[in-house]
Structure 1
Amino acid sequence: MDYFKMYKDIWELHKKYIDKVDSRDDEIWKSIIVEADELTKKYDNCKFIKNLVMAELEEFERLHHERTK
């Protein structure tokens, strides 16, 4: 298992979308979900990458709710 690559890929997802999570555009959110799914598949759905992806998605959701109140 290449932890460094997994962390790097999560970081790239984070950088790409962190400034867009306050968007109400469904296409942005669809893109996030598609890329998150691709990441889990890239690493054969291993539990570690699933946990990283879920943590990132939960943070995006938390920030979205906080920023769009």
Structure 2
Amino acid sequence: MAGKIKKGALVRVVREKLENSLEATASDTRFPSYLFESKGEIVDMNDEYALLRFYTPTPNVWLRIDQLELVE
């Protein structure tokens, strides 16, 4: 599914993939609920990461593409 993810797509963060990741061990593991309960829009991408904008008053965040799933 990650092959279909592109700039402008609406995605949701997969809790299991984020919580068990190397990135999660490098910072606070108490993730805010909006990451998993709301949609984010991809505003930029590179080979491995996507910059997500959530429609809440929070900063954009970079996450690995394999930690995301498309929202239909």
Give the TM-score range, shorter chain.
under 0.3
Q: Which one has the largest radius of gyration?
A: 1
Give the structure with the higher percent strand.
2
TM-score between the two structures when normalised by the length of structure 2: 0.25
Higher helix share: 1
Q: Which TM-score applies when normalising by structure 1?
A: 0.26
